[in-house]
Amino acid sequence: MVRQRFCAFTRFLWSDHLSNLRGSGRDSLIAYLLPDPSSCVVYEYERETANDLRCVVMHCQSNADAPEFRIIHAGFREDFFYDENNQFVLRDEYPRRVEEMGYEVTRKLMLNQYRSVILNERLSTKEGADLRRLAAVHSLGPKPLTNLEQIAAAMANEKINFRDLQNIVIERVSDLQGDVANPAQSRRELKKSRNDVSQWLEAHDHMVAVSKAAPEAQKLKAKADRVKDFT
């Protein structure tokens, strides 16, 4: 159970959907695992360099069984969340404490807003401009991270089906090529079967093995050439 809950939170922090996180007999794990204002999950991540660190802080909302997030422009520090008396700092108090230490903290973000920021999504909503500004500073990478939630779910579940892989490939190629004028050309379709992909992988592995054996093959060829010279 502990491992399942940890994996659920891992999926959450990597942008999985709330509907995918369920507890037995409960609508959501959030209020159950983060029951009071001092309960939180903190996740530190590295952006483009080892010194470019951020902290995501997740609490349960005060009036709903749903998460809220803030991102701290710094790496993890325990004193962000413990006061001078070694007591937990509450949900509504830690942002001011962190800012007084000289670090920036984002406004409160709901799950869909948090997803847009860390995945660097290009939203056309009214708040899209503000979220893009936050994404420029806090996103996990410099480009939009398509399908990260599916990958995170697969990591937690230790499985991913072939259709998921197809969708990831199709959407990634679509992003690289841009919008297609002809709707018939933009249909989500991958005309290869699972067996085709398996054959590709086997052929790739075979070519890698052959390439690694190339130096030994050259030595054998040289020996054969020398034998020919003596005959």
Is residue 50, in this structure, part of any structural domain at all?
yes
- Helix ranges (DSSP H) in 125-193: 128-138, 148-157, 162-177
CA–CA separation, 103 vs 93, rounded Å?
14
Instruction: Evaluate if residue 92 carries a pLDDT over 60.
Output: yes
Instruction: Evaluate if residue 112 carries a pLDDT over 90.
Output: no
Does 185 share its domain with 212?
A: no
Does 31 share its domain with 84?
A: yes
Whole-number pLDDT of residue 77 = 93
How is residue 168 written in tokens? 């990831």
Q: Where are the beta strands (DSSP E) in the chain?
A: 41-46, 53-60, 67-72
CA–CA separation, 168 vs 123, rounded Å?
20
| Residue bearing the bigger pLDDT, 72 or 151 | 72
Whole-number pLDDT of residue 56 = 92
Return the number of other C-beta atoms located less than 10 Å from residue 174's C-beta.
14
Does 169 share its domain with 203?
A: no
What percentage of the chain reaches a pLDDT higher than 70? 65
Whole-number pLDDT of residue 151 = 59
Range of the domain at 173: 161-191
CA–CA separation, 161 vs 184, rounded Å?
26
> In sequence order, what are the residues at sequence separation of 6 or more whose Cβ sits closer than 8 angstroms to the Cβ of residue 47?
53, 54, 138, 139, 140, 141
Is residue 37, in this structure, part of any structural domain at all?
yes
Does 58 share its domain with 165?
A: no
Whole-number pLDDT of residue 109 = 93
Q: Which of 1-5, 157-161, 219-223 has the lowest mean pLDDT?
A: 1-5
Is residue 52, in this structure, part of any structural domain at all?
yes
Is residue 105, in this structure, part of any structural domain at all?
yes
Whole-number pLDDT of residue 170 = 63
Whole-number pLDDT of residue 32 = 80
Is residue 155, in this structure, part of any structural domain at all?
no
CA–CA separation, 95 vs 89, rounded Å?
10
Residues 144-173: pLDDT tens digits?
776 666 655 555 455 556 666 666 666 656
CA–CA separation, 32 vs 41, rounded Å?
13
CB 16 within 8 A of CB 153: yes
Please choose, from the candidates 33, 36, 37, the residue with its C-alpha nearest in 3D space to the C-alpha of residue 10. Answer: 33
Average pLDDT over residues 105-114: 91
Across 31-40, 121-130, 201-210, the highest mean pLDDT is recorded for 31-40
